[in-house]
Chains A and B, each alone.
Chain A
Amino acid sequence: MHLSPDQMIFWQYGFFKLNGTIMFTWGLMLVLAVGSRLITRKLSVGLERSRWQNLLEIVVTSIQKQIEEVGLSQAQKYLGFLGTLFLFIAAASLCTVIPGYQPPTGSLSTTAALALCVFVAVPFFGIEEEGVGNYLKSYAKPTFLMLPFNIISELSRTLALAVRLFGNMMSGAMIIGILLTITPFLFPIIMTLLGQLTGMVQAYIFSILAAVYIAAATQVRKPNPEAAPSIAA
């Protein structure tokens, strides 16, 4: 009963291991990058366009609309980061239909890496938008006594992002594995469908939470009343 694709070792040389997590992540990167490069080679501006281009446009415009609804008015600046988060986690979960594939987000290493990216990106975008002094002063709002609590909440929501995604992906894979030994035919398929649903929801949640944290960090001076309130983990 393996807990994560970390334990599928393909090649080992001393300290360096190529395990399932790394290989599946490389596979996903290859498919996503080469696929989008192939589709965007000949973009057409008029009404006649290929259906792959249509699909990509639907995906990109809906992500952009979601980012704007969260409260980030200049969605173009954050579309790259947030869109990549969503697409990577969604693709990692969707490919579970391929036999022999284990989602790399089912390993705590991958989800910790993604959460660390968000942890670094929030101050980065905050400082880029507000300047170093204003951003650091925001940690002492509303009163200076809140400084340790704000720092702790930064760390704990990063941890929560990582563990939430890891727990959801790992539990989906594990339940399917357990059910395969008990009732082989019908039930694992239903559970795989449920796993797809939770995978897409978790991808959406991860990117929306990242967007909310960035919105909270970039709007210290003029809090937007229509934006979703900042959620401390």
Chain B
Amino acid sequence: MDSMTIIAVASIVIAGITISLGAIGPALAEGRAVATALTSLAQQPDASATITRTLFVGLAMIESIAIYCFVVSMILIFANPFWNHAIAQTAGK
């Protein structure tokens, strides 16, 4: 396998693994966060504005982890510097 093939295979495989593994943790965490928020809403319905706002802020923080993995995966597929370098080299030859 020459280096271009290795770069391509590694990028594609790791992009897939990145986003699939990176979405597991945040999904579980968001599920737990919403469940706890629903429990506390049931216990104290008049604090619902504060609970809802805190829930959304917390969900956004958890979601950002999944977004980081997504961004890395997109970079590997669409803006891969190693692939661009390899292409430039073969184009130059």
Chain A: residues with CB nearer than 8 A to chain B?
1, 3, 66, 69, 160, 163-164, 166-168, 170-171, 174, 201-202, 204-205, 208-209, 212, 228, 231, 233
Contact = CB atoms under 8 A, between A and B. Distances in A.
B78 A167 contact: no
Nearest to B68: A163
B57 A205 contact: yes
A205 B71 contact: no
Interface residues of B, number: 17
Interface of B: 49-50, 53-54, 56-57, 60-61, 63-64, 67-68, 70-71, 74, 78-79
Nearest to A70: B53
B60 A202 contact: yes
A213 B79 CA distance: 33
A1, A160, A212, A233, most chain B CB atoms within 10 A: A160
A165 B68 CA distance: 11
A168 B74 CA distance: 13
24 contacts: A3-B74, A3-B79, A69-B49, A69-B50, A160-B64, A163-B67, A163-B68, A164-B60, A164-B67, A167-B68, A167-B70, A168-B67, A170-B71, A171-B70, A174-B74, A205-B60, A208-B53, A208-B57, A209-B57, A209-B60, A212-B57, A228-B54, A228-B57, A231-B61
